[in-house]
Structure 1
């Protein structure tokens, strides 16, 4: 695709395509560390995430822009929001929400049961989507994935960026990790707001297994289409760093035990004060990007072993 959009520059790195913000300032790579909050149950994590949303709603007027987390990480939050949407208790809050997805497998039909959109609909429920102000998923069934991603980013930028980036923590080989789907050695930089990443069989297996573990109703036809996906659409480091608040949850160590060590590596790895060395660390282990955000909450369960 020829990117003639003035807001973004297309950058390709070893088959990974990144969209860089032309207006982005050179980011300060200041390591703020990470302080996990250990809660007893997944339900408690969901309530803590909801409390962060309620706090943001109380602190600002007007719209609230959030990126939903897929998979197990935020299902407890989504159940709470779904229940609230069945009542009138938080209609004012729901009516202020502009909701975005943060990653997706592509190409794949939007109706595929392994799509995050279908999982969101299943757990959040129809009342939630009727009451929120807008819902903007990443388009996965278009012939031009980059053009669809730019349209998505233009809407997010026009609304003022993310107030809350609900984010997870994904295990990778060599005890590394990903955020959203920023993969190790994909060349992500601090001004890259989103990307199109070649997919690996290990990611497909992880994606399918977590959907099955999360209770999604699946079928063989959709699973076959999902396994034929070639790319991951993902928000990038700039979207994380520019969000006003980052709220992380790690609740699925029982089905993804590698997270015990990969989360510990993010927790205990101090980023170098040398910028070039820090960028090498971030490229090798993108889970470390969360350490650069000054307003981060990380909610975890006791089985993470902290």
Structure 2
């Protein structure tokens, strides 16, 4: 596609397509580390995430822009929000929310049981989507995925970027990990706000297994269509780093035991002071990007063995 008239610059290498803002500023690679907060249950993690939303709502006026986390990590938060939407208790807050998805597999019909949209609708419920200000998913049911992604990013930029990026932690080979769906060696850089990258078997299996672990009802045709997906659409490092707050949750080490080591690596890896070497570390293990954000919370359970 031709994006010359948009506010984004296109970069492609090794079949990975990344979009960046033309007016992007130079990024300072400061390591802020990660100090996890270990909580006793998934319910407590959900409450802690909801408190972060309440704190943001109290600290500003007007709209609140959030990226929802799919799969198991934020299900308790979504149940809490869904229950609030059934009452009038937080209607004023809900009416301020502009809600975005953060990643997707493509091509995939939007009503596939393995799409994040269906999963969000299942747990958050109809009342939530009726009460919020807007819901903007990444479109996966179009032949022109880049144009759809640019439209999505344009709306996100027009609204001023994310106030809260609710994010997870996905295991990868060689004890690496992904944030959103930024996979290892996809060439993601600090200026890349979103990308379309070839799918990997590890992410495909992780995607299906986390939906099943989360209780999604998936039929044979949905899984067959999902397994034929060729691309990952994901927000990139710039979207994470430019968010005003990043709230991470890791709750499923029991069903995804590889996370014990991959999360430990995010905490304990010594980041290089040499920018070129640091970029190589981030490319090999995208889970490390979270350490470069100055305002991060990471809520985890004791099953990570910390």
User: TM range, normalised to the smaller chain?
Assistant: over 0.9
Partners of 2:117 and 2:137 within 8 A in 1: yes
Match of 2:126 in 1: 126
Partners of 1:36 and 1:299 within 8 A in 2: yes
Partners of 2:170 and 2:206 within 8 A in 1: no
CA displacement, residues 256-289 of structure 1 (integer Å, 9 cap, x when unaligned): 1000000000001132111111111100100000
SS of 2:73's partner is: helix
1:63 CA drift (Å): 0.1
Match of 2:295 in 1: 295
Distance 1:290 1:201 in 2: 24
1:107 CA drift (Å): 0.3
Q: Which 4+ residue blocks in structure 1 deviate beyond 4 angstroms?
A: none
Q: CA RMSD in A?
A: 0.7
User: Between Structure 1 and Structure 2, how many residues are aligned?
Assistant: 306
TM-score, structure 2 length as denominator?
0.99
Distance 1:39 1:288 in 2: 22
CA displacement, residues 213-260 of structure 1 (integer Å, 9 cap, x when unaligned): 111111001111011000010000000000000000000101110000
1:209 CA drift (Å): 1.2
Partners of 2:177 and 2:184 within 8 A in 1: yes
Distance 1:245 1:263 in 2: 20
Match of 2:141 in 1: 141
1:206 CA drift (Å): 1.4
Distance 1:281 1:235 in 2: 19
Distance 2:112 2:236 in 1: 24
CA displacement, residues 152-205 of structure 1 (integer Å, 9 cap, x when unaligned): 000000000000000000000000000001111110010000000100222212
Match of 2:23 in 1: 23
Distance 1:105 1:129 in 2: 22
**What pairs with 1:198-217 in structure 2 (closer than 5 Å)?**
198-217=198-217
Partners of 2:168 and 2:180 within 8 A in 1: yes
Partners of 1:177 and 1:262 within 8 A in 2: yes
**Structure 1, gaps ≥5 residues long:** none
**Structure 2, gaps ≥5 residues long:** none
Pairing 1:269–2:240 present: no
Match of 2:55 in 1: 55
SS of 2:74's partner is: helix
63-72 or 6-15: bigger deviation: 6-15
CA displacement, residues 137-157 of structure 1 (integer Å, 9 cap, x when unaligned): 000001100000000000000
Match of 1:76 in 2: 76
1:5 CA drift (Å): 3.2
Distance 2:93 2:292 in 1: 29
Match of 1:105 in 2: 105
SS of 1:25's partner is: coil
